[in-house]
Amino acid sequence: MLAERNIDVPASEIRKIFNMIIGRTDVFDMTVGIPDFDTPEHIKEAAKKAIDDGFTRYTHNAGYIEVREALAQKLKRDNNIEADPVSEMVLTAGGMGALVLANLVMINPGDEVIYPDPGFVSHYAHIKLAGGIPIPIQLKKENRFGLLSEDVEHKITPKTKMIVLNSPNNPTGGVTPNSELKRIAELCIENDIYVIADEAYEKFRYVDEEPLFIGSLPEMKERTVSIFSLSKTYAMTGWRIAVATGSSEIIGAMTKLQEHVIAMPTSIAQKAAAAAAVGPQDCVADMLKTFRKRRDLITKGLNDIEGVEIAPPGGAFYAFPDVSAYGVKSYDLVHKILNETNVVTIHGTAFGKYGEGFLRLCYAVSTERINEALSRLDSYLPKLLH
């Protein structure tokens, strides 16, 4: 009864884990990528004011122009991207909204799209939804899960239409070095390849190198859709708001399509986004500081467990330890850990086939929960070796 495109789009493997723990209050949940911070006060105030001031109606399909203008300031300040608010920006319902639109307006059936594996589960789903052929590119532990241009080059064929980039990466925390990013940009120009740059974790980086955004490089703006979600940056996951920027041709097509799908993201979330973009940024710096501490804590704690190996993740708020020493498939290991310790983790294979041998633990949770999870893992995992 259902259309074929449903069959092609898999359900998220993460759901399987969520479903197992529904209603359980005795578990230590390390699964979901939701910052445990509340949305900063000045952003909430802007939303309340928007309601009181009557910003409650349909807006332009690309979002209020004054909100796009505010976000254009952010793009210039933080990302070195010059975007025309009138024609080169569209506000979307989270990064997810932009990812779907970008895939649908760019991909023809049969086009090959290179994407990182392990990677964000929806990247694969969106390529399939658009009729594209997903071509996984392995992010390797020995490269700290950063993408190498050499690996990209090997995957390019005459059918390659696009590449999806995500650095810092979910689920590995890997950061692609700037030199590699520049070479990837050259490859894209040489081979006429388009880019989706999913910058969801742009602010959560622990590496020394200054961030470089591929959409800011010469000749890349016209072939890159850069997506900046406010979900993680400003602890706004439930508000569903992001901005996408790129050439007027692509952004125009995304805006036209959005009209027929959700019309536009919520007017109130748009107004909140403007406050986030031009308001004080110390909330972001505070979150980064906290995440860095937790990253150090979880990295050390995991390495102290016999059989677990992890290098400090360069960004995002996920630890992706190598647990292959236990000789158990990561999906089975998640079950064993849950049954024996009540700690909930996600199997690496939920993020693609190259995730085998790894687990994902989200450390956007309290220090207490991290400590408890570490101690429970330490009391159980080494037993698997003996």
Stretch that binds ligand PLP, among 173-181, 229-237, 291-299, 322-330 (CB under 6 A): 229-237
Cβ-contact 114, 164 below 8 angstroms: yes
Coil/strand/helix, residue 108: coil
> What are the tokens at 228?
């900046």
Contact 376, 349 (CB under 8 A): no
CB of 83 to ligand PLP, least distance (A): 18
Residue 237 engages ligand PLP in binding (rule: CB under 6 A): yes
Q: Would you say 120 or 326 has its CB closer to ligand PLP?
A: 120
- By beta-carbon proximity to ligand PLP, the closer residue of 31 and 229 is 229
Element holding 89 (H helix, E strand): strand 89-92
The helix-helix angle for 330-341 and 13-21 (nearest 10°) equals 10
Q: Which of 105, 242, 250, 323 binds ligand PLP (CB under 6 A)?
A: 242
- Shortest Cβ 331–ligand PLP spacing (Å): 20
Q: What are phi and psi of 176, to 5 degrees?
A: -80, 125
Q: Contact, 288 vs 357, CB < 8 A? A: no
Least Cβ distance, residue 166 to ligand PLP (angstroms):
5
Residue 170 near ligand PLP by CB under 6 A: yes
Of 359-378, binders to ligand PLP (CB under 6 A) are: none
Q: Indicate whether 352 belongs to the interface with ligand PLP (CB under 6 A).
A: no
- Choose which of 96, 148, 268, 287 interacts with ligand PLP (CB under 6 A): 96
Nearest residue relative to ligand PLP (C-beta): 94
Which residue from 314, 111, 71 is spatially nearest to 196, judged by alpha carbons?
Answer: 111
Per-residue interface string for the shown chain with ligand PLP, residues 178-197, x marking contact by CB under 6 A: --------------------
User: How many CB atoms are closer than 10 A to CB 341?
Assistant: 20
95 lies in the site for ligand PLP, by CB under 6 A: yes
Q: Which of 104, 95, 150, 93 is nearest to 129 (CA)?
A: 104
Estimate the crossing angle of helix 282-303 against helix 367-380, to 10 degrees. Answer: 10
Of 67-75, 91-99, 128-136, 275-283, the segment contacting ligand PLP by CB under 6 A is 91-99
The residue to which tokens 């999906």 are assigned: 331
Does the protein bind ligand PLP through residue 94 (CB under 6 A)? yes
100 binds ligand PLP (CB under 6 A): no
HSE-CB for 290 with a 13 A CA cutoff: 15
Among 39, 59, 226, 229, binds ligand PLP (CB under 6 A): 229
Whichever of 93 and 283 has its CB closer to ligand PLP, that residue is: 93
Q: Does 12 bind ligand PLP (CB under 6 A)?
A: no
Nearer to ligand PLP, 234 or 326 (CB): 234
Q: Where are the alpha helices (DSSP H) in the chain?
A: 4-8, 13-21, 41-52, 65-79, 94-106, 121-129, 149-155, 178-190, 230-233, 248-261, 267-278, 282-303, 330-341, 367-380
The distance of closest approach from Cβ of residue 232 to ligand PLP in the complex, given in angstroms and rounded to an integer, is 7
Least distance in Å: CB of 307 to ligand PLP? 27
Residues 26-85 that bind ligand PLP (CB under 6 A): 33
- Residues lying near ligand PLP in the complex (CB under 6 A): 33, 94-96, 120, 166, 170, 198, 200, 229, 231, 237, 242
